[in-house]
Each structure stands twice: as C-alpha cells, then as structure tokens.
Amino acid sequence: MKFSKINRWIHREFGYFFVGMTIIYAISGIAINHIEDWNPNYIISHNNIKIAPITQKIDEIKAKEILSKYIDEENFKSFYFPQSNILKIFYNGGSLILDVTTGIGYYDSMTRRPIFYEVNKLHYNPNIWWTIFSDIFAVALFLLAITGMFLNKGKYGIKGRGGILVAIGILIPIIFLFFI
C-alpha cells in the first residue's frame, strides 16, 4: 500500500472518530482560557438583601429562619461568624452573608452552566478511564497533525505553501514562550 493511501486513511479515520473529543476540548479550552472573565462552570447570581438588624443570639433555628426568606430552608447546610458581626450561612448552591448589626447583606446562588459544566468536567479528567481515552486522543491529535502535513502535494503541500504555514504555526508558540 502506498504511503499516501495509508496517510489519508489514518487522517480520515482518526479525524472522524475523534470529532466529538475535538469539539469537547475546543469548547472547554475556550471557556477555561477566559476563566478570569467569567465562571465557565457556574452561573452565579448576586442578590442584595436588607433586613432589620438582629440583636438576639443566632442559633441554627434562627439561621434557617433568615435563610428561608430567600432560599428554601431545606437547602441549609451550616453557618458561622467569620467576624463578630458577620453571619455566613451556607446552603446547597451558594451562601448568604449578612452584617447582623446593619441587616445589610447578600446571597449568591450558583447554577450549573449548561453544556460548559459538562465539557469542562471532562476536560479536567474526572476518572482514570477518561484519562486513558484522553491520552489516546492526544496521540491521535499528534498523528492527525503529522498526517495532515502530507495530505497535499506540490505547491500546496509541505514543500510549498503548506511548509510555510507549518513553519509559521510552530514559530508563533515559540515567540510567545520567549517574549511573553
């Protein structure tokens, strides 16, 4: 069998087989690249609150009562005072922070960001089997890159424009490594 036939077969079959993985890593890669701009896993809503100042001692019952004005009491997890006047209540999906002397505070709630949560979870390699499959994908990407360089011949191939594009594509990361 000729090299070009084997090369095309490898490139085509691996390309089709790993299209799902390529999409998963492309979406999560973009999301993770911009993690300083937004939370790719959760939608976080910030809600300001104002209640009457609290003068009595706060126990679990009182903490649940405060929480129940905003969040279903069944989601209550725990509470504590990080400072003498600041009450922090944890619940499934977020937390409530309240200055008990002023009654001013806020609560944050988190919901999973559709699609991004799931693909990011896969990007972080959640278990050994996924890690093995991801390693196989990484090897396949390497083979796709190598076989892709030899798909075209002549002026569009590796000895022509393709070679120039390969050189530029290698040079750009090197420039970033040394100058940024």
For the segment 85-112, the average pLDDT, to the nearest whole number, is 94
Burial of 158 (0-12, 13-18, 19+ CB in 10 A): middle
Q: What is the mean pLDDT of the chain?
A: 93
pTM: 0.71
Going edge to edge, which strands form the sheet with 42-50? 42-50, 104-112, 94-99, 86-91, 76-83
**Tokens representing residue 131 in the block:** 């890690």
Confidence band of 125 (pLDDT split at 50, 70, 90):
confident
For the segment 122-140, the average pLDDT, to the nearest whole number, is 93
* Residue whose pair of structure tokens reads 């085509």 in the numeric block: 12
Instruction: Give the whole-angstrom CA distance, residue 71 versus residue 7.
Output: 59
* Residue whose pair of structure tokens reads 């944890």 in the numeric block: 90
